[in-house]
Amino acid sequence: MAFLQEKMLFRGLLIFCMALVVSSLKRPYTPPTVAHLTDYFPPVSIDKGFSNFFGGSNIRLLSNASMASLALDKSSGSGMVSKNRYYYGFFSAAIKLPSGLSPGVVVAFYLSNAETSPHNHDEIDIELLGHDKRNDWVLQTNIYANGSVSTGREEKFYFWFDPTEQHHQYSIIWNSHHIVFLVDNIPVREFPRNSGFSSVYPSKPMSIYATIWDGSEWATHGGKYPVNYKYAPFVVSFADMKLSGCILNPTEQVSSCSKAGVSSSDPVEGAEFVRLSEKQLEAMNWARRKLMFYSYCNDRSRFKVLPPECK
C-alpha cells in the first residue's frame, strides 16, 4: 500500500511539473509599451529591394511584391539578398514562421559581407530556430566581426507570442554607437561600440539576407532533432521589408557614412537611434529577465576567458 501511495504521489508530482513546463511555454506575458521605430521607415517592394539568392523555385512574390513566401523542402531551402550593400541603417522584416513540428528548420534575417570579405567578414544575425520536439521556436541573435567565426556572440530567447500565427516585426539598428536587436519594437539586446575592443564591432558594408534552410547539424543540440521532411514544405512569409541605410556605391570603398561613395547621410544617427530611451531600457530588461535563456557571456564552459565585452 505504501509503495502504491508513493507511486501515485510521484505521478501526481510528474503531472504537476509537466503542467508547469507547458504553462511556461505559453508565456502569457504582456510586453511593455515602447516607441514604434518601424513606423519611421517606409516599406520596400521586395522585387525592387531584393534578388533571389538561392532556391529560386521555392520563392514566391505575393500581393504585388509586398510579401514573399520562402520554402524549405527536401530539394532545397531558399533565400533572397538585397540588391544594395549598406553601411549602417535600420533593417526590418515582418515574419510569419512555419507552423507545426519544425526542429532543424532555420529562418534567418541578417546582414553579412561574407561574399565580399570571405576571410574577415562581418555579420549581424537574427536567426529563428525550430526547437527540439515541441511546436516551439527560439530567437537567436549573433554578431561576428572581422572573421571572428570561432567566437560567436549568441544570445537566445523564447517568445512571448506564437510566431507562427501572424507576422511579427524583427529589426536591427546598426550605427556607429551600437547594434540593437528588436522584436515588435521591443529591444531584446544591445551591443555597444567600445573603443577598447573595436575589432569585435562590425565595420564593413553588408548585404541583407532573408533565408530558410536546413540547420539540422547544429540548430537542435548538434543535430539531435533533424528536419523531418514528412512535414515539408516549411513555408515562411516575409513582409513589410524596411531597408534604410547608407547605400554603398559599388565602385568605391567607404569607412563612414559621411565619405564619398555613400548615397546619403546615416539615417540612424538621430536621438532615437543613438541611445535607448528609458522606456526602451526598461523593456529590454523585461525581455532579458523573462525570456533570455542563453548568453555567451555566461558560458564559462565554452570560454576559459570571457570575451572582453562581457566584462
pLDDT digits (tens, 9 = 90+) for 191-215: 999 988 888 999 999 999 999 999 9
How is residue 22 annotated by DSSP? H
State yes or no: pLDDT of 16 exceeds 70.
Answer: no
Up-side HSE of residue 110: CA atoms within 13 Å toward CB? Answer: 23
Q: How confident is the model at residue 15, as a pLDDT?
A: 37
Phi and psi at 192, nearest 5°, equal -70, 150
Three-state DSSP at 11 gives: helix
Q: How confident is the model at residue 84, as a pLDDT?
A: 95
* Average pLDDT for the chain: 87
State yes or no: pLDDT of 92 exceeds 80.
Answer: yes
Residue 199 domain-assigned (yes or no): yes
Question: Domain range holding 44?
Answer: 40-299
Query: pLDDT band at residue 114, thresholds of 50, 70 and 90?
Result: very high
Helix and strand tally (H, E) in the chain?
Answer: 4, 15
State yes or no: pLDDT of 17 exceeds 50.
Answer: no
Residue 1 domain-assigned (yes or no): no
Alpha helix positions (H), 126-186? none
Of the listed ranges 74-88, 106-120, 213-227, the one predicted with least confidence:
213-227
State yes or no: pLDDT of 309 exceeds 60.
Answer: yes
Residue 7 domain-assigned (yes or no): no
Q: What cell numbers appear for 78 in the block? A: 531558399
When divided into structural domains, the chain yields a total of: 1
Integer Cα distance of 1 and 9 in angstroms:
12
Mean pLDDT of 178-186: 98
Q: What cell numbers appear for 294 in the block? A: 542563453
Integer Cα distance of 140 and 214 in angstroms:
16
Q: Which residues are catalytic?
A: 123, 127
Q: Which residue has the higher pLDDT, 1 or 290?
A: 290
Residue 168 domain-assigned (yes or no): yes
Amino acid at 227: V
Q: How confident is the model at residue 262, as a pLDDT?
A: 52
Q: What cell numbers appear for 1 in the block? A: 500500500
pTM attached to this predicted model: 0.88
Integer Cα distance of 262 and 272 in angstroms:
22
Integer Cα distance of 17 and 218 in angstroms:
29
Integer Cα distance of 77 and 60 in angstroms:
13
Integer Cα distance of 207 and 115 in angstroms:
9
Mean pLDDT of 238-259: 76
Q: Give yes or no for a contact between 191 and 309, defined as CB atoms under 8 angstroms apart.
A: yes
- Return the CATH number at 184: 2.60.120.200
CB atoms within 10 A of CB 247: 19
Q: What cell numbers appear for 12 in the block? A: 501526481
Q: How confident is the model at residue 197, as a pLDDT?
A: 85
Residue 154 domain-assigned (yes or no): yes
Of the listed ranges 18-22, 85-89, 120-124, 273-277, the one predicted with least confidence:
18-22
Query: pLDDT band at residue 10, thresholds of 50, 70 and 90?
Result: very low
State yes or no: pLDDT of 21 exceeds 50.
Answer: no
Mean pLDDT of 63-78: 97
Query: pLDDT band at residue 172, thresholds of 50, 70 and 90?
Result: very high
**What is the chain's length?**
311
Query: pLDDT band at residue 24, thresholds of 50, 70 and 90?
Result: very low
Beta-carbon contacts of 158 under 8 Å, excluding residues fewer than 6 positions away, are 25, 27, 136, 138, 139, 291, 293
Residue 269 domain-assigned (yes or no): yes
Residue 215 domain-assigned (yes or no): yes
State yes or no: pLDDT of 260 exceeds 60.
Answer: no
CB atoms within 10 A of CB 22: 10
Integer Cα distance of 109 and 107 in angstroms:
7
Q: What cell numbers appear for 27 in the block? A: 508565456
State yes or no: pLDDT of 152 exceeds 70.
Answer: yes
Integer Cα distance of 182 and 267 in angstroms:
17
Q: Which residue has the higher pLDDT, 111 or 258?
A: 111
State yes or no: pLDDT of 158 exceeds 70.
Answer: yes
Residue 8 domain-assigned (yes or no): no
